[in-house]
Structure 1
Amino acid sequence: MSTTTTLPESVSAVLGPRYRSVEVPVRGGDLHVGVWEPAAPAPGPVPSLVLIHGITASHVSWAELAAALPHVRLVAPDLRGRGRSRDLPGPYGMPTHADDVAAVVEALDLGRVGVVGHSMGAFVSLVLADRHPDLVTALALVDGGMPLVPPPGVEPEAMSMAVLGPAAERLRMTFPDRAAYRDFWAQHPALGPEWTDLTGAYVDYDLVGNAGAMHPSTRVRALEEDIRELVDGSSVVHALDHLRHPATWFVAPRGLMDEVPPLYPESAVDRWAAQLPQLRLVHVPDVNHYTIVMLRRGVDQLLPHLEAMLR
């Protein structure tokens, strides 16, 4: 397990002094992992959470939560095919991501931990708990994890691309520099209107390549392989059918483009709440799919539940 810290200055400033990064061996190479250590560790075991990001995101998306939990060790990988783990080979898929995260938990000797997953990270969290139950204490599923329910007349294949089509288009674009990529994201209806230092760091970290032809870090093939499992992936269905850990599902009222209906409209929420009565449902007002974890008002609504999970 090696250490690396090369980051754009804007990213380092947001991640803060508690942050370090490590490389954990997994199939085909090393998984890049961000770690926020406690600012002032208390005697005894250090409380830890594992954080798993969304389908085209990176571990930098968790910086706001890390700032709000200074007494906790937070461990957040870049998933295979994303961020600084983009060069790890396929195949991808929820079982692969779950096994990669399990390797991180074991390599860092975290013991049993609470797992927080956002968007696709919530799906990975469920499969991690199903495949590696002895590594997990509880799950926080943030606007993700429940298979997406196609509206009447819409095929599952069309549903996944209808939800994430704009993201797929972005991955095929090139930008001359980080300033141009920031300008692109400034027009995004979910993140642009409430731009923060974290937004800038998140965007700067995402861009890779050489000046004049830079591009988002997520591999198109990784998106294409993973996206279908968000509708009816067998590993996700199995994990939900055999859910054995305490789990809380946080639902945002607006979607990936700040739209209504959100990723989980009321009919889908009602369906999953009825199908999984052991699942604790929490509505998080005044946020969208991104700002539920990337703005302080979203994080503040998650905190009481995460603190309880740590206890």
Structure 2
Amino acid sequence: MRQSVEIQFPTGAGSYAVTRWPAPEAAVQAPPVIAAHGITANGLAWAPLAEALPETDFIAPDLRGRGRSREVGGPYSMAAHADDLVRTLDHLGVERATLLGHSMGGWVVAAAAVRHPERFGGAVLVDGGLGFQLPEGTDLDQLLDAVLGPAMAKLRTVFASREEFLAPWRNHPSLVDVYSPAVEAYQERDIIGTEPELRSSCVLDAIRDDAADELQNPDVVGAIHRLPMPAVFLHAERGLLNEPVGLYSPEAVAAAKLADAGVDVRFVPGTNHYSILLGDRGIAAVAEAVRALR
């Protein structure tokens, strides 16, 4: 098991937390990877993938408003997260890295690539970063509840115990087949407070503001078509709750014509929105895409 270190540095109103898995000194040094997690996740969501890339200096922040970066404060937007990634590289003395993002992190990665092309050599977007056509008058809170389900419910719930917090994730339809000690550690990082009053670390305003930005800001929605570097877009076969159709149907991906924008599109069968990051088949596909950009 790879050893990680946690780094914190002041940003905004609080400290920005980063988990780093340094590459072994004996390894052939590949470019570092900096990874942006999903909308209600944290940096430990990347632990299984870091294990699959042992030659890589792997850097995974808790994005502002989540995990141990919850006190950083706003503004919350893809641009703010993108700039935080560059601040992280500056703090660590890293000149150039490969971008990697899952779910909302895909929009963060696209924004970072467009805003700071000189700092990144390639981008991998994992089941995120491609915009949706929303019906006029869509209520954002209702949409988040419908799409994210348990991930949104936990933000409004007070849990009496650690076990009560973790139980829904152990039995989550998209996680039940890939649940592991690493997945549990990622979920535990989200717990704040003391029993019998435990909560999610995610700041609800951060979730709302980031969702609005990634879904409604034209500059963010269109960023994937303006990537100034080699890029790979991976999409899962199944959805957030393991529904038969994924977050991105093959038809929607084809209609986006990402290949015309120079993006390498890869379908990952046998995965859902979470297992594409946390299950063996998904991890192998993401690791292959990262290595392809070197």
TM range (shorter): over 0.9
The verdict on how the C-alpha distance between 1:188 and 1:246 changes in structure 2, with shifts beyond 3 A counting, is same
Q: 1:57-87 CA distances to partner (integer Å, 9 max, x unpaired)?
A: 0111111111111111000000000010011
Q: Classify the secondary structure of the residue corresponding to 1:86.
A: helix
Identify the residue that residue 281 of structure 1 maps to in structure 2: 265
- CA offset at residue 195 of structure 1? 2.0
CA distance in 2, matches of 1:274, 1:307: 20
Find out whether 1:262 has 2:236 as its counterpart. Answer: no
- CA offset at residue 165 of structure 1? 4.5
Amino acid at match of 1:133: P
Q: Classify the secondary structure of the residue corresponding to 2:72.
A: coil
- CA offset at residue 161 of structure 1? 4.7
* Superposed CA RMSD: 2.0
Matches within 5 A, 1:35-74: 35-42=20-27, 47-74=31-58
8 Å contact from structure 2 (residues 238, 246) kept in 1 = yes
8 Å contact from structure 1 (residues 50, 113) kept in 2 = yes
Q: Alignment partner for residue 14 of structure 2, among 29, 35, 48?
A: 29
Identify the residue that residue 20 of structure 1 maps to in structure 2: 5
The verdict on how the C-alpha distance between 1:234 and 1:24 changes in structure 2, with shifts beyond 3 A counting, is farther
8 Å contact from structure 1 (residues 189, 258) kept in 2 = yes
CA distance in 2, matches of 1:185, 1:26: 31
CA distance in 2, matches of 1:259, 1:198: 24
Identify the residue that residue 155 of structure 1 maps to in structure 2: 138
CA distance in 2, matches of 1:298, 1:222: 28
Identify the residue that residue 230 of structure 2 maps to in structure 1: 246
8 Å contact from structure 2 (residues 145, 153) kept in 1 = no
Matches within 5 A, 1:57-206: 57-150=41-134, 155=138, 157=140, 159-206=143-190
Q: 1:137-177 CA distances to partner (integer Å, 9 max, x unpaired)?
A: 10000000001233x67837464553234422221111122
Amino acid at match of 1:33: V
Deviates more, 1:152-161 or 1:253-262: 152-161
CA distance in 2, matches of 1:67, 1:209: 30
For these two proteins, the number of residue pairs brought into alignment is 293
TM-score in terms of structure 1 length:
0.88
Q: 1:102-124 CA distances to partner (integer Å, 9 max, x unpaired)?
A: 10011111111111100000100
The verdict on how the C-alpha distance between 1:298 and 1:46 changes in structure 2, with shifts beyond 3 A counting, is closer
Query: Percentage identity across aligned positions?
Result: 34
- CA offset at residue 135 of structure 1? 0.6
Identify the residue that residue 282 of structure 2 maps to in structure 1: 298
8 Å contact from structure 2 (residues 2, 51) kept in 1 = no
Deviates more, 1:234-243 or 1:129-138: 234-243
TM-score in terms of structure 2 length:
0.92
CA distance in 2, matches of 1:56, 1:280: 27
Q: Which runs of 5+ in 2 are unaligned?
A: none
Q: 1:14-38 CA distances to partner (integer Å, 9 max, x unpaired)?
A: xx45200101332333210000011
- CA offset at residue 237 of structure 1? 3.3
Find out whether 1:307 has 2:268 as its counterpart. Answer: no
Identify the residue that residue 208 of structure 2 maps to in structure 1: 224
- CA offset at residue 234 of structure 1? 3.0
CA distance in 1, matches of 2:285, 2:196: 41
